[in-house]
Homo-oligomer: A and B are copies of this chain.
Amino acid sequence: MSAAADYGYIFDVAQLAHIELLTPDLERSLWFFRDLLGMEEVARKDGSAYLRAYDERYLTSLKLTPSEKPGLGHAAWRARSPRALERRVHAIEATGLGHGWIDGDIGHGPAYRFTTPEGHPMEIFWEVEWYEAPGDLQSRLPNRPQKRPGRGVPVRRLDHINLFAKDVKRCGDFMMEALGFQLREYIEARAGGYRGVWLSVSPMVHEIAFMHDEAGPGGRLHHICYWYGYPHQLWDVGDLFRENRVHIELGPAKHGITQAMPLYVYEPGGNRVELFGDVGYLIFEPDWRPIRWTEEHIERAAQEGGLPWLGGSFPAEYWVYGTPAAQIGVERAATAPTE
């Protein structure tokens, strides 16, 4: 038996590398990510803006692309090695969900494009550009890639993505089988199957989750998440959001699932953005036993004062509002509240 058979393909995907968000209001989306979340614009090309958080190693983690409707442009995974990339491309091709190679983009080299079974657009690549801070943005900390900004309440790095799906199990299985993700927590549906799954390729509880798209067609974005590392900064950025009329959906709160501390807001383009205050808990156990939540559990928790473990309750919109994955032409299922 080879080493590979021990672990299978579970380490071929190293990390969530970047996200492309579609926005009908590029300037205001830029204001949100740059002035409130303290991100840096590092490039502009073909109308898209590329941003980075100050604690990220690569050039960029966010591409903002003007579009008629908000939604997910694509989510990009970095493979662990050139060989790992090859293996994953073969596995994806075998599913029939592969779309083929692109030459690359600002910040990375050749990438293989594919979708989940519900059409969420993704890519995987190996070659990446590490960030080199210009003189005035160099940090005094050797292990910090960029000086901490003095603008807004600056986020540190991209954390995860959460997608709406009609068939949660099918999407989760795809990520596990074609890409090597592991199941960490799930909500079992009363009628069988899953209402939500949380999957990771690292000790984090998830780099990706799928939740049941109750009111929509699936294939959509629920939210992307940036990380602070310090729960208190959710209050600081929340105060900025309130002063600047950014719609807060929930939080600061403490999740039951993942145990992490979130704040959910809508960026001006209409996409939901989560901010994570801490890491919740980390999973180091190689034979992890996925955590099972039932719908009864969720309902009882709601009756007992809300689904989050602490800090209020999910409003109805949380379960139905998402933004369309534009490439596959899904219509928006709900309207983002405005203040």
Chain A residues within 8 Å of B, Cβ to Cβ: 1-7, 9, 11, 14-15, 35-36, 55, 57-58, 78-81, 83-84, 87, 130, 139-144, 147-148, 150-152, 156, 185, 202-204, 229-233, 235-236, 238-240, 242-245, 247-254, 256-259, 261, 278-282, 284-286, 289, 291-293, 297, 304-306, 309-313, 337, 339
CA distance A2 to B243 in the complex (A): 45
CA distance A149 to B206 in the complex (A): 27
A84 touches which of B6, B243, B253 (Cβ 8 Å): B6
A292 touches which of B142, B203, B310 (Cβ 8 Å): B142
9 other contacts beyond A140-B243, A203-B204, A238-B311, with CB at 8 A cut-off? A3-B87, A4-B4, A11-B11, A141-B309, A143-B185, A148-B239, A235-B310, A248-B305, A253-B311
B243 touches A281 (CB 8 A): no
Secondary structure of the A contact surface, majority rule: loop
A150 touches B240 (CB 8 A): yes
B309 touches A312 (CB 8 A): no
Residue from A142, A152, A297 whose CB has the most chain B CB atoms within 10 Å = A142
A156 touches B285 (CB 8 A): no
Residues of B within 8 A of A230 (CB): 231-232, 235-236, 278
B80 touches A6 (CB 8 A): yes
- A3's nearest neighbour on chain B, judged by CB, is B4
A15 touches B140 (CB 8 A): no
B235 touches A81 (CB 8 A): no
A140 touches B185 (CB 8 A): no
A9 touches B14 (CB 8 A): no
Residues of B within 8 A of A313 (CB): 312
Residues of B within 8 A of A15 (CB): 284-286
